[in-house]
Chains A and B, each alone.
Chain A
Amino acid sequence: MAIAVLSCLHANLAAVEAVLADIDQLGLDTIICLGDLVGYGPQPNEVVELVRERGIPSCQGCWDEDIIEGLDACDCSYPSQLAERRGQLAHHWTASQLKAENRDFLAGLPFSLRRGRLLFVHGSPNSQHEYLLPDMNAFTALERVDSAEADTLLCGHTHRPYVRRLNHGSIRVRVQKPAGAATSSSNLASSEHQLDLPLRRLINAGSVGEPRHGSTKATYITVDEDHDAVEIREVSYDVERTCQAILNAGLPPIFSWRLRHGFEYAERADDAAHVCER
């Protein structure tokens, strides 16, 4: 049976509607959302209400967590000081707009969802804020999947969709310990073995509401468990409708500029060396 997995909706109603229509057209009735329903975009209530109406099981994303817990929940995801200031602006605007029942809904979202050997999280099994990037160290990627006791880890947060198959590998392990009351390196107990690594898969659903993979189209993925097939899907939507709503809401114009281009490079260029110490 195939399922649809979406992430990072970011209060972009036009994009969410288009992706749900695409899923309906494929005839998929199991949908799972990996969080970040709100933030950046102009329709937080509408998007949360649509997810609630459709009964879509969701994890809590970093923006959902921050809206509930306050900005201190942030482990810092901003690439620059300007991006951080704009993010805070969007945070306060979203917090002021969100209805109480929608806020309660976000507060009640779980950190992760499990379906057999599939684990669904927003960032990583460690944190909603950790980025599992497509080119990350393969051993680290494997550790994140394996430590979560899953065969496949599905995540979002990076806004870049990908499927990373961790295929064949091994680790040679040599352990040395003091033997008895030894005090020198010559009296060591030594053992050695080879650990054959398990086959695992890391899937990133990209972003519905704020794509940053180089295209303006919304992305999500479908996973066919029976046939071991994963498809990354791109969906066109009315970008201008959301861009205009961003400007009408008084949110930073760069959020609409970014939607029109599908990248985050404008903010990266602001202050590439910035490291948030909050």
Chain B
Amino acid sequence: MAMWALLSGLRGNLKAYEAVLRDLRRERVSTLFILGDLVGPDPSCHALLERLRNPRRGELQPQCVVGWWDEQLLAEWGYRGRSRADGLRAAQGEAAVESLLNAVDQADMAWLANLPFGFRELDCALLHGSSADVSDSLSSDSSPLLLLDRLTRMDVNRLFTGRSGEQFCVELSGGLDSNLQHLAGVEEHHQSVPARKVIGVGCVNPGPTAGPSTYCLYNPGSDQVFFQQVVAQRGFA
């Protein structure tokens, strides 16, 4: 069965995206999912968005979801009611908000505003953050109970996330006994969890000093996850 490629964290960097596309030519990939953070304070942002909308001949048409950076931009432009890019402002200051606004053409906003929150494909949720929120940063250190909750919210057995930028696979299984007392009496319950997984897909553009570009491949037929690194692209801007 052909694999899925799952990317996140492009943050406007066209060269980083092109490097991943070159890497993908070596693999048998049927579907390309981009789990958010399409935009960022990169001068090539508009060109990247144009490429995502209009892939070159032979390239896969990416299926994109909205990410944290995309949400910040949409909020600052007024697409999210009274919210503004408060998260970005608090984390990186006013200059970062300005850079982001300057990097993206107004003409791109309508397309960004129509990006879905996530996809549900087979028994997999494909999201930027989690089923709770786009800013939810799931990692290999997240509480197992919290990870199970995020899976349960979408009633899936696999959840792919990009927000933390980390590559990881946490597999969870177990059981829990409880009893329920109500006015009619007491009932005993047992809840079991089949092997469920939360998978961090990595980050295509972690920044010039933060390590290599990473993404992951997933074979939905065999349920195998392959963590990929684009080592040759180390240091791209």
How long is the Cα–Cα vector from A139 to B155 in the complex, in angstroms? 13
A-B contacts, CB under 8 A, total: 132
How long is the Cα–Cα vector from A172 to B192 in the complex, in angstroms? 11
Mark out the residues of chain A between 161 and 185 whose CB falls within 8 Å of any chain B CB in the assembled complex. Answer: 161-178, 181-185
Q: Tell whether, in the assembled complex, residue A165 and residue B140 are in contact, meaning their CB atoms are under 8 Å apart.
A: no
| Set of chain A residues within 8 Å of B143, measured between Cβ atoms | 143, 147
Q: Tell whether, in the assembled complex, residue A175 and residue B176 are in contact, meaning their CB atoms are under 8 Å apart.
A: no
Mark out the residues of chain A between 216 and 247 whose CB falls within 8 Å of any chain B CB in the assembled complex. Answer: 219, 230, 232, 234
Mark out the residues of chain A between 126 and 182 whose CB falls within 8 Å of any chain B CB in the assembled complex. Answer: 134-135, 137-143, 146-147, 160-178, 181-182
Q: Count of B residues near A, CB < 8 Å? A: 38
Question: Which single member of B168, B172, B175, B191 contacts A137 (CB below 8 Å)?
Answer: B191
Having A140-B152, A169-B176, one finds 9 other A-B pairs with CB under 8 Å, namely: A134-B180, A140-B149, A165-B178, A165-B181, A167-B178, A173-B144, A182-B229, A219-B183, A230-B181
- A164-B178, A165-B181 in contact; A143/B172 too (CB < 8 A)? no
Mark out the residues of chain B between 93 and 120 whose CB falls within 8 Å of any chain A CB in the assembled complex. Answer: none
| Set of chain A residues within 8 Å of B149, measured between Cβ atoms | 139-140, 143
Fill in one digit per residue for A171-209: 1 if any B CB lies within 8 Å of its CB, else 0.
111111110011111001000000101000000000000
Q: Tell whether, in the assembled complex, residue B227 and residue A139 are in contact, meaning their CB atoms are under 8 Å apart.
A: no
| Set of chain B residues within 8 Å of A170, measured between Cβ atoms | 174-176
Q: Tell whether, in the assembled complex, residue A182 and residue B145 are in contact, meaning their CB atoms are under 8 Å apart.
A: no
| Set of chain A residues within 8 Å of B148, measured between Cβ atoms | 139-140, 143, 171
Q: Tell whether, in the assembled complex, residue B169 and residue A139 are in contact, meaning their CB atoms are under 8 Å apart.
A: no
Question: A122 near B: Cβ within 8 Å?
Answer: no
Question: Which single member of A167, A215, A232 contacts B179 (CB below 8 Å)?
Answer: A167
Find the B residue at minimum CB distance from A178: B227
Q: Tell whether, in the assembled complex, residue A162 and residue B181 are in contact, meaning their CB atoms are under 8 Å apart.
A: yes
Mark out the residues of chain B between 139 and 183 whose CB falls within 8 Å of any chain A CB in the assembled complex. Answer: 140, 143-146, 148-149, 152, 166-183
- A147-B146, A169-B175, A171-B173 in contact; A161/B182 too (CB < 8 A)? yes
| Set of chain A residues within 8 Å of B237, measured between Cβ atoms | none
| Set of chain A residues within 8 Å of B226, measured between Cβ atoms | 183-185
Find the B residue at minimum CB distance from A141: B178
Q: Tell whether, in the assembled complex, residue B152 and residue A142 are in contact, meaning their CB atoms are under 8 Å apart.
A: no
| Set of chain B residues within 8 Å of A174, measured between Cβ atoms | 170-172
- A175-B170, A178-B227 in contact; A138/B146 too (CB < 8 A)? no
How long is the Cα–Cα vector from A176 to B178 in the complex, in angstroms? 30
Question: Which single member of B152, B177, B193, B225 contacts A168 (CB below 8 Å)?
Answer: B177
Find the A residue at minimum CB distance from B150: A143
Q: Tell whether, in the assembled complex, residue A178 and residue B167 are in contact, meaning their CB atoms are under 8 Å apart.
A: yes
How long is the Cα–Cα vector from A197 to B175 in the complex, in angstroms? 10
Question: A213 near B: Cβ within 8 Å?
Answer: yes
Q: Tell whether, in the assembled complex, residue A171 and residue B182 are in contact, meaning their CB atoms are under 8 Å apart.
A: no
| Set of chain A residues within 8 Å of B168, measured between Cβ atoms | 175-177
Most B C-beta atoms less than 10 A away, residue of A166, A182, A183:
A183
Q: Tell whether, in the assembled complex, residue B179 and residue A169 are in contact, meaning their CB atoms are under 8 Å apart.
A: no
Question: Which single member of B145, B214, B225 contacts A185 (CB below 8 Å)?
Answer: B225
| Set of chain B residues within 8 Å of A167, measured between Cβ atoms | 176-179
Q: Tell whether, in the assembled complex, residue A138 and residue B189 are in contact, meaning their CB atoms are under 8 Å apart.
A: yes
- A177-B168, A185-B224, A234-B183 in contact; A171/B178 too (CB < 8 A)? no
| Set of chain B residues within 8 Å of A134, measured between Cβ atoms | 180, 182
Question: Which single member of B167, B178, B181 contacts A177 (CB below 8 Å)?
Answer: B167
Q: How far is the CB of B155 from the nearest CB of chain A, in Å?
A: 10
Q: Tell whether, in the assembled complex, residue A142 and residue B145 are in contact, meaning their CB atoms are under 8 Å apart.
A: yes
- A139-B149, A181-B231 in contact; A197/B176 too (CB < 8 A)? yes
